[in-house]
A = this chain, B = another copy of it.
Amino acid sequence: MRVSIEKRKAAKPSAHLKAFADRRRDPDTKREAVLHTALQIFMERGYWQTSLNDIADKLKITKPAIYHYFHNKEEIYLECYRRGIARVEEDLEQIRQHRGTGLEKVGEFIQKYASQITRDFGRFLVRQDDRDLSGTAKAEVRRCKRSIDHHLREFIQQGVDDASIRPCNVKLAAFSVAGAVNSLVVWFLPNGDLTAEQVAAELAQTLTQGLVRKDR
């Protein structure tokens, strides 16, 4: 049975904005508030057009207060990446441990991946440009992204091996699938008439069956 993604997200978006209202409160909550607020503004305007003041203003705190929770601006950014990656990686591990054909795993990937990247940190992961990061941070993120890609290739390769998937250029197929799903981020609106899951299902159909009509 399918659960609408809207149900899962407990906290209202404005909840984070009140994290600093009380004098005493769990510092983790506050850190979380900074992170989510930053995420939101990063997504709206982009990293470079977001100043720490924008974030502080939205949280109604002062700029230096942010430095209690993060060492610098980039760390906030990097953390957003990490969250996005972590969630996808969990899913990947689950899929991997499933028994089933490669094709089924690819289908699952599309489902789960689509579900992630239409939400907060997942959206971030896809939309944000990792050239914004510097040095080691950039390397880390790219390594993780590559790892995701390799997992997908693994599933496809398995499909080719178990004959559930047509023989093909695995690398290219992986990018096609990922690219097609990623495009969701650009146009999919969570409040539209279709849920992310429904869209993912359709997408899986399109990608596995292809466009061509074969019944004639």
Instruction: Tell me the A residues contacting B by CB distance below 8 Å.
Output: 44-49, 103, 106, 127, 129, 131-132, 156, 159, 163-166, 168-169, 171-173, 175-184, 186-187, 199, 202-203, 205-214, 216
B175 touches A180 (CB 8 A): yes
Give the distance to chain B from A119, nearest Cβ to Cβ, in Å: 18
Contact of A132 (CB < 8 Å), options: B46, B156, B183: B46
A208 touches B214 (CB 8 A): no
A163 touches B216 (CB 8 A): yes
A211 touches B175 (CB 8 A): no
Chain B residues closer than 8 Å to A163, beta-carbon distance: 213, 216
Q: How far is the CA of A4 from the CA of B169 in the complex (A)?
A: 20
Q: How far is the CA of A7 from the CA of B45 in the complex (A)?
A: 39
Contact of A159 (CB < 8 Å), options: B164, B172, B186, B211: B211
A173 touches B211 (CB 8 A): yes
Q: How far is the CA of A3 from the CA of B156 in the complex (A)?
A: 31
Q: Which residue of B lies closest to A212 (CB)?
A: B208
Take A180-B179, A183-B176 as given contacts and tell me if A165 and B213 are in contact as well, using a CB distance cutoff of 8 Å: yes
Chain B residues closer than 8 Å to A203, beta-carbon distance: 172, 176
A175 touches B187 (CB 8 A): yes
Chain B residues closer than 8 Å to A159, beta-carbon distance: 211
A214 touches B211 (CB 8 A): no
Q: How far is the CA of A44 from the CA of B166 in the complex (A)?
A: 36
